[in-house]
Amino acid sequence: MKDLRNHGESPHDPRHDYVAMTEDLLAFIDQHGLKEPTLIGHSMGAKTAMSAALRSPETVAKVVAVDNAPVDVTLSRTFASYVRGMKKIEEAKVTRQSEADAILRDYEESLPIRQFLLGNLYRSPEDGIQRFRVPLDILGRSLDHLGDFPYKNPGEARYTKPALFVRGTQSKYVPDDVLPIIGQFFPRFQLVDIDAGHWLISEQPEAFRQAVVSFLQDPETAQ
């Protein structure tokens, strides 16, 4: 498997928007001969999965969108704060993850979220310094675009197969007033609320797992 561009060990590219990431995802599915996969994505990954399903509905069997919706929003300032914290870690040239965690604690108090962010660190074999795999400058410059959604009109794109939307009740990204637009783009959608913030997979992993398994096994979501 590969991560989205500019994440994990996937290639870095100055362009970082949902049209490009959707093209990457659909090309990956085609190149690997995947037959109607279920797409599960959180946050940026959720919008990429939704966009791929709307662009090529015949390619995708089901969608699980985690704490994001098919609308334009303003990103929380915490994302920019995370990038600043991660840059601070690189500037400090730390050699231990505990040192990185101590720096990031000034930017995020939740240990599970810090652990998630620090999962991008790797130790350079040349000098032992821990660096991030993700290109922080590119991601920092792209933040203004990552609240957007490439589809604006449900009359022009609709995904009529099963879709699950999982939202954190303490998060702002899927408020009740966007549920009608979700229903227009994804008329067979189900909604599950989990008592967590935006990083609900890290905060409530078992509740998330149960929600997804229940959705995938539900006879009502069969094609």
Instruction: Considering the candidates 7, 16, 42, 198, report the single residue annotated as catalytic.
Output: 198
Q: Catalytic site residue 16?
A: no
Q: Catalytic site residue 198?
A: yes
In contact, 63 and 39? CB cutoff 8 Å: yes
The closest of 113, 132, 140 to 202, measured between CA atoms, is 113
DSSP H stretches of helix in 56-163: 77-92, 97-104, 111-118, 136-142
Question: DSSP class of residue 71?
Answer: S
Question: DSSP class of residue 135?
Answer: -
Looking at the DSSP bridge assignments, the partners of residue 189 are 163
Instruction: Considering the candidates 43, 51, 171, 202, report the single residue annotated as catalytic.
Output: 43
In contact, 71 and 65? CB cutoff 8 Å: no
Active site residues: 43, 198
